[in-house]
Chain A
Amino acid sequence: EVQLVESGGGLVQPGGSLRLSCAASGFTFSSYAMHWVRQAPGKGLEYVSAISSNGGSTYYANSVKGRFTISRDNSKNTLYLQMGSLRAEDMAVYYCARVERYSYGFGFRSDYWGQGTLVTVSS
């Protein structure tokens, strides 16, 4: 059974840092790209960051570029999101999601999601 379990969320002051983790099981982690998606309270889904299966390519939304770093440890089946210079607008539930390629070209889908971890930014 595929499982993604996020951890590391919590209360942090503006300007602070936090590292989120996503532990994967039930599939060959090193074969899949992974994404972080967030959802502010009462708001919609926002793409945050993506990483290729071997970690060699990373991508960021403009809203977090230069402040967040995505990484992965395929030996530990774990995805990370290092968040720095946190702002009030970064407060959200953060989800990790597995990305499956279903067709050549642009055929991607997020078929499994974790339960999310809440990041609260407040003084």
Chain B
Amino acid sequence: DIQMTQSPSSLSASVGDRVTITCRASQSISSYLNWYQQKPGKAPKLLIYAASSLQSGVPSRFSGSGSGTDFTLTISSLQPEDFATYYCQQSYSTSPIFTFGPGTKVDIK
């Protein structure tokens, strides 16, 4: 099974900061990597798919990059509504059990 890790597990940042979150897969997953945002008590929301494609309606301050085993999610200028937990997810699997990373919590400094 493909394992996903994320770093850091949490970070504190201020409004306007540039934030980068890293996700690593235990084997190459090409570009089959999705990013989700989850706020407390809410369902996850798809932000990025195919490692770097922005989901419709998602602000352009969110961007993704990477391929193979190493990926990043970048928020170019953190906004108050961006304080949340972010998860990566791989879909490079013949059985559709698409594992998630453990999450990165972004909170207010």
Contacts and interface: CB of A to CB of B under 8 A. Distances in A.
A8 B93 CA distance: 30
Given A47-B99, A111-B55, A103 B34 contact: no
Interface string A80-123: 00000000000000010001001101111111011110000000
Provide the main secondary structure of the chain B interface: loop
A50 B97 contact: yes
A99 B89 CA distance: 13
B92 A109 contact: no
A35 interface: yes
Interface in A12-38: 33, 35, 37
B92 A59 contact: no
Q: How large is the interface on B (under 10, 10 to 19, 20 to 34, 35 or more residues)?
A: 20 to 34
A47 to B, nearest CB: 5
B69 to A, nearest CB: 15
A66 to B, nearest CB: 15
A64 B95 CA distance: 15
B34 A95 contact: no
B96 A59 contact: yes
A46 B100 CA distance: 7
A44 interface: yes
Contacts of A44: 87, 100-103
A44 B87 CA distance: 8
A2 interface: no
Query: Most A CB atoms within 10 A — which of B45, B95, B97?
Result: B97
A95 B100 CA distance: 14
Contacts of A11: none
A45 B49 CA distance: 17
B30 interface: yes
A45 B96 contact: no
